[in-house]
Structure 1
Amino acid sequence: MLAVLMACLPLYYLLRPFTAHNPVPRWFLRTIAAIAGVHIRTRGPRPARRTFFIANHVSWLDIPALAGATGTAFIAHDGLTEIGPLRWLCELNDTVFVARHDRRSVAAQIEQVRAALRETGALAVFPEGTTSNGTELLPFKSSLLSALDTEADHIPVQPIWLDYGPETRGIAWAGTEPGLDNALRILARWRPIGLTITYLQPLSQDERANRKTMAQAARCAIASAMARCR
């Protein structure tokens, strides 16, 4: 992984002045997912280049896999900014950092998301706010979806189901397991990790009436897909 990073960094900075959507982070993250043993299969209607994704969250593998498949940037908790090297890597992929527990800054965070949608294109959020065990969905937090109420009404909002199949419980980063322990445990596996990325139907205009409606509609779409395939 370090060798791939060292190879990609010069190319990233070489291309940076010439493109608004640098492809190198997508190549890098796709390769990281492959090195970790993730075999990606996609189903459903392919997304537009400019799309707001709403996905369930099971593992740190979700991020390189989804970014590698779609080129999306992410909305992430600002706790990651305390880890310097990790923050730097996230910023290379245009990550939007937000303080989800600071209600006083919600308006500023919404403006951050709107700006990212205009500048980056695809943007993804994990509205559960944390990883789950992968077999059920946690409640969806809706505050940041306010960014889509008006100014971004022309951008599709597409739910995504990330499914690790029978390996889900072994892959999930849930409970009290430290992040480093989880990463080392997954990287030590010999068997490949199958991941199906299911692109569900974009939300309709009625389903986008407001942020709470969007959160509920996206959660229902993902839950229905999970129920059909269990």
Structure 2
Amino acid sequence: MIAALRIVFVFAGFLLLTLALLPVQLIALGLGHSVMQRLPRWWHQMMCRIIGLRVRVNGRISSERPLLLVANHVSWKDILVLGSVADVVFIAKSEVRGWPVLGWLARLQRTIFVEREERRKTGMQASEVSSRLLSGEVVVLFAEGTTSDGNRVMPFNSSLFGAASAALPLAPEGKVHIQPLSIAYTGIHGMPMGRYHRPVAGWPGDVALGPHLLRVIRDGALDVDVVFSDAIPFDASSDRKKTARLVEVRVREGLNAALRGKLNR
């Protein structure tokens, strides 16, 4: 009974919040007003509270621009979590655009959709990401290319860093700053979350979205650690593959420190 009431509460909160902010976002998008970049953060903060996601931040987002945040990817909840701590835009695979509700929300948040399998579009898509970076927006890249179980970081795809290379010719001082970012789901109902419970948080690609979504809403009360590592300058002399490996190492270090309770709070 309590679980059913919680599901009703979360969906009612989602509808009320979204319907209240939707007209403002649509107007801001139509006028190109800067509030279109800030409003999603307010929505994400409120949705984290409604669902029961307690976000704790270690470190801080870099003040350098252009800035590309590169993170591990555990679940759809990562969008809520990162969207609640900074004004960011996300890079997502093109299939997300057609997802019910989530695809619509992604478009409202000005998500950049890419078709990773079509090499002939790679240049055009990198150009769109680089133009966002050069305009001062902070772009989030999930470099694993898919979601994981939350216990590990999978290998990064160096080709996804192409947008950083594309932005270099017009970037101030010829640099793009790449900041490693780790997302770790570490607690449930105030208790440490081990490997056994982490599937509540993780959403591997072979798990259906609907049942997973309902389970998260029903259980709620998840602790999430966001770990910002130092930004890495990327310029014309940088090797893309080596940079991707370095960022991967930093993200893995941040994840492992959070899962083991080794963060400096």
TM-score normalised per structure 1: 0.90
Question: What is the number of residues matched between the two proteins?
Answer: 229
Shift of 1:223: 1.5
The answer to whether structure 1 residue 40 and structure 2 residue 55 are counterparts is yes
Question: How far does residue 106 in structure 1 lie from its aligned partner after superposition?
Answer: 1.2
1:1-230 paired onto structure 2 within 5 Å: 1-16=14-29, 17=31, 19-20=33-34, 22=36, 23-48=38-63, 50=65, 51-83=67-99, 85-119=101-135, 121-149=137-165, 150-151=168-169, 152=171, 153-165=174-186, 166=193, 168-174=198-204, 176-190=206-220, 192-205=221-234, 209-229=238-258, 230=260
- Tell me if the contact between 1:46 and 1:199 (Cα under 8 Å) persists in the aligned partners: yes
Which amino acid letter does the alignment assign opposite residue 20 of structure 1?
S
Q: Considering only CA atoms, is the larger Rg found in Structure 1 or Structure 2? A: 2
- Displacement of 1:72: 0.7
Unaligned runs of 5+ in 2: 1-13, 187-192, 261-265
2:254 aligned partner, one-letter code: A
Does the CA-based 8 Å contact 1:41-1:195 persist in structure 2?
Answer: yes
For residues 134-160 of structure 1, give each alpha carbon's deviation from its aligned partner in whole angstroms, at most 9, with x where no partner exists.
111111112131221223443421010
Distance 1:207 1:184, change over 3 A: farther
SS at match of 1:221: helix
TM value normalised by structure 2: 0.79
Report SS of the residue matched to 1:159.
strand
Gaps of 5+ in 1: none
Q: Which amino acid aligns with 2:98?
A: E
Deviation at 1:206, TM superposition (A): 7.9
Contact 2:72 2:181 (C-alpha < 8 Å) held by counterparts: yes
1:27 is aligned with what amino acid? Answer: W
Per the alignment, do residues 111 and 35 of structure 1 end up closer, same or farther by CA in structure 2, a change over 3 Å counting? same
Across the aligned residues of Structure 1 and Structure 2, the Cα RMSD in angstroms comes to: 2.3
Output one character per residue of 1:30-69: Cα deviation in whole Å (capped at 9) or x when no partner. 2112211100110113322742100001111100110111
Q: Secondary structure at the match of 2:219?
A: coil
Counterpart of 1:19 in structure 2: which amino acid?
H
